[in-house]
Structure 1
């Protein structure tokens, strides 16, 4: 074995690190072409609104959160409003998002922390965001990337699943996934990479029955064949309309 081969770190698929990086970036480019308008699907107009919406999105869908937030944001416009919220009223508004008592606790404590430590403003640094109640790295990266333009990788269930299926990582731990996948891409691409993989996970590469036969990166995916490979049958599994050829 050559010294170069001996020194090359292992990759999830057995590719060389250079080959893995090239394939990963090819996959990203093709998926970006499939979903050129990929974006955060939570509705918001301020960093605080996005932070709150992201906390509410735990264990539910963005669609459900977007049904709740117009009323919520009309009642609570500032961190101080959340800090002084009537618990019963807040619980009633967000109840349909699930785990509403725990989420109410998080939102009230979040308001307190923002008022006490950040003058009521949402901080724009990861190390500050993750100190806030109800805020982990995933939520912090959503806010950084979409409210402040700071590149970040959002490892939700879709991103983690696709990262493993595509052979970008074998890790299950979200923080390890974030670091391993992030190392394959320029930092400037991290936020859009997150959107693109999440869009693909929601629309094509489903958890239980991926539409392999209608996937633009099938040729470069080591997991091709775990889902429907017939192009016509796979097309019927898509959760969006393909542009006409």
Structure 2
């Protein structure tokens, strides 16, 4: 298939029209598939800002920063709790190295689908870390610690049970299973919100995430407390974590 230059009209055999010095532009052949236009990012009608992360369909990171900060301000004004879940895919580089980057993109889309199924429409989710990021942020307005941990556990379990089929060569597909994620959770109540902002919430969630990585991955931590696999009563667990969280916050502020 060729793209005709100039008027776009073909030239019949035997026409006397002089031959152009420019070579024909030949479309790359791949099963004779037609060329398709490259999709564009969804943008804000008023300001033109990108709203959507193309690989995952989640909120674009910098837009997320703005909306998340506004949600924290709203929580502060109304005296509501708020929670942040930070998710990091374990050994994600191995997926790209063993199966290719298109397979990695398929895993990212699968994780985004898990997050959408596990959260409400009012929750805010984005992919963190730029175009190569395999971390995700989920802000949960009006959610306290026990409920945030319930959401985090659903996400962790569904990522572990996820099955993704992706092309690894032009002729070969692979089904990838067993991907895991480490998760950090941070929550603020009204007393915390009086002095803390989005950056503080992200720092606290990141500390918890790093603890989950250190403690063996595929787990959830809140302020360095591993909460995966505990079988005690929910309220007792919540009380213990809140005490540990308060102690951690005092240590952090020294």
Q: Give TM-score, length-normalised by structure 2.
A: 0.23
Q: Which has the larger radius of gyration?
A: 2
Q: Which has the higher helix share?
A: 1
Name the structure with the higher strand share. 2
Q: TM-score, normalised by structure 1?
A: 0.23
